[in-house]
Chain A
Amino acid sequence: MMKTLTLIWSYLRIDIANELQYRVNFFIQLLQSFIALATGLIGLWLVFNHTTTLAGWTQPELLAVMGVYILVNGIIQAGIQPNMQRLMNEIQDGTLDFALTKPVDGQILVSIREFRFWQLTDVLVGLVVLVIAVFRLQEQFAPLQALAFTFALLLGGIMIYCFWLMLTTTAFWLIRVWELVNLFQGLYAAGRWPISIYPNWLRFGLTFLVPVAFAVTVPAQALTNRLTMMTLPGALGLTIVLMILARLIWRLGVRGYSGASA
């Protein structure tokens, strides 16, 4: 366990040292985060030109949802997506061997090698939005809520990671996985809005197939006092299931892997 953590820290250090050289990238990234934020805010503003609540969520509550969405997106773009992209490329090029022959567990290695430090601007922006939203909520904000929020966020992050890993692992069999990834990235955009607005069949998909609900809506529910007794334990259960499933599929994929023709 300790070894894994030190390894993660090593990779992180390398990336940060690399990216710090390009300070311009930070500003470019920040600018892009702001543009994305502005677009989101305009969307919200437009909605509230026509209505005061959306499926029972008020303005500051919807702002909180958007904040969580941006924050989680930042985490995905910084830590999850780059690793999965690299994994997919290496499976297709047959160069995964290098990663598999290292004395570190393959799954861990392919999941921590890449990191995009400057993408964390989204996390920054998301946090700012959240803070503003929580202020606007004008309710008693108990520390228990913050705890529940962090816990929900953590579970959601792990679920997204497991889901992405399973999706990318299908590249062992399907080769051209890019379009599938594209599809599910589009589905993730559905997380901008609380999933209760979606028709039932879509809601099911957004909860259990693509864990958008758990990544965005549930943490937002934690912040806005909407959590039921069952939600967090349910999330924990689902997370464990997904972790086991992801591990199994990974092992299956690696076993069948032989590398592209020499």
Chain B
Amino acid sequence: MKRYIDFYLTSMKIAILEQFQYRAQNYFYMVGVIVEPTIYLVVWSTIANQQGGSVGGYTPGALAAYYIVWTLVRQMNIVFTPYGWEDRIQHGRLSMELLRPLHPIHNDVSYFAGWKVVMIFLWIPIGAGLALIFKPALDPTWLQVIVFTIAIWGAYLVRTMIYAVLGLITLWTTRVSAMFELIFALELILSGRFVPMTLMPEWVQRIAYYFPFQWTFYFPINALVGHLGTTELLSGLGMQLLWILIGLVFVRIVWHFGVRHFSAVGN
């Protein structure tokens, strides 16, 4: 156990040292990320103003709060894409990982975690700037802040698991881009990435419950900007944990069979 903690801390340190050198690129990337929620925010604020001040209970101020917090949550849930797995396998880097006495997923999780630390610090001035421009209505309690801080890491892990399972499929076949795009599209709808889930029709919200997506976007954002009660906040964290565990099980299974197939063919 101590070995794992040591590895994670060392790996995070390396990630922080490396990514800090790339601050300019990281900044550019983050600014690029802002464009997406800004578009959503403008669209929905327009609708809100047309409808006399609010849409589905969200005022422009509440929408601003939602989408600004969105930008931080988005930085947290960026993970190794399934396309990255394909690339890694093709260039023989997976073999290097397989030689280590440590499961490759530890490397991914720990490296990205370190990267997140750098991203959070870079985000702070951007978040402040956005708040000045769009004037969000934000007033969270202490419990909300604490739950939010935990939930963004939970979101990171849930999304890691989802896309690790998808990426591992490339151990068998590489012609899966259409499937990836399908999952991305599903995620866009069911995660709260496009709009807060409460603006979706009832039946969509009910379906979304069976998927892990809303725990990567909607739950952490809503924990901070919404008005969830203590039970809802804590059970939300519990749901994140549940999906992480389910994801882990799937990762282990897919990995076990995938690596066997890969090692029969190899690169």
Do A and B bind? yes
Known contacts A47-B47, A51-B50, A202-B42; A187/B181 CB under 8 A: no
Which residues between 27 and 65 of chain B lie within 8 Å of chain A, taking CB atoms?
28-29, 31-33, 35-36, 38-39, 42-43, 46-47, 50-51, 55-56
Residues of A within 8 A of B36 (CB): 186, 189
Residues of B within 8 A of A193 (CB): 39, 42-43
Chain A window 21-42, contacts with chain B (Cβ cutoff 8 Å), 1 for yes, 0 for no: 0001000100110011011001
Known contacts A43-B194, A50-B56; A182/B199 CB under 8 A: no
Residues of B within 8 A of A51 (CB): 47, 50-51, 55
Q: Does B25 contact A (CB under 8 A)?
A: yes
Interface centre among A49, A50, A55, A176 (most CB of B within 10 A): A50
Residues of A within 8 A of B28 (CB): 179-180, 182-183
Closest to A176 in B: B25
User: When chains A and B are docked, how far (Å) is the Cα of A51 from the Cα of B43?
Assistant: 11
For chain B, the bracket of interface size reads: 20 to 34
Which residues between 181 and 216 of chain A lie within 8 Å of chain B, taking CB atoms?
182-183, 185-187, 189-190, 192-193, 197-199, 202
Pick the contact of A32 from B43, B178, B189, B194 — CB < 8 Å?
B178
Chain A window 69-90, contacts with chain B (Cβ cutoff 8 Å), 1 for yes, 0 for no: 0000000000000000000000
- A183 and B194 contact, CB distance less than 8 A: no
- A42 and B51 contact, CB distance less than 8 A: no
Which residues between 144 and 190 of chain B lie within 8 Å of chain A, taking CB atoms?
175, 177-178, 181-182, 185, 188-189
Q: Does B241 contact A (CB under 8 A)?
A: no
- A183 and B50 contact, CB distance less than 8 A: no
Residues of A within 8 A of B33 (CB): 186
- B195 and A46 contact, CB distance less than 8 A: yes
Residues of B within 8 A of A28 (CB): 175, 177-178
Residues of B within 8 A of A38 (CB): 185
Q: Does B200 contact A (CB under 8 A)?
A: yes
Pick the contact of B178 from A31, A39, A42 — CB < 8 Å?
A31
Q: Does A99 contact B (CB under 8 A)?
A: no
User: When chains A and B are docked, how far (Å) is the Cα of A197 from the Cα of B47?
Assistant: 10
For chain A, the bracket of interface size reads: 20 to 34
- B43 and A47 contact, CB distance less than 8 A: yes
Which residues between 2 and 47 of chain B lie within 8 Å of chain A, taking CB atoms?
25, 28-29, 31-33, 35-36, 38-39, 42-43, 46-47
Q: Does B201 contact A (CB under 8 A)?
A: yes
Closest to B182 in A: A35
* A187 nearest CB across to chain B (Å): 5
Residues of A within 8 A of B199 (CB): 46, 50
- B35 and A187 contact, CB distance less than 8 A: yes
Known contacts A49-B201, A180-B28; A189/B35 CB under 8 A: yes
Residues of A within 8 A of B42 (CB): 193, 197-199, 202
- A189 and B29 contact, CB distance less than 8 A: no
Q: Does A235 contact B (CB under 8 A)?
A: no
- B201 and A192 contact, CB distance less than 8 A: no
Residues of A within 8 A of B200 (CB): 46
* A86 nearest CB across to chain B (Å): 18
List B residues at the A interface (Cβ < 8 Å).
25, 28-29, 31-33, 35-36, 38-39, 42-43, 46-47, 50-51, 55-56, 175, 177-178, 181-182, 185, 188-189, 194-195, 199-201
Other A-B pairs beyond A51-B47, A54-B47, A197-B43, 15, CB < 8 Å: A28-B175, A32-B177, A38-B185, A47-B43, A49-B201, A51-B55, A54-B46, A179-B25, A182-B28, A183-B31, A186-B36, A189-B35, A193-B42, A198-B42, A202-B42
Closest 4 CB pairs of A and B: A179-B28, A186-B35, A183-B32, A31-B178
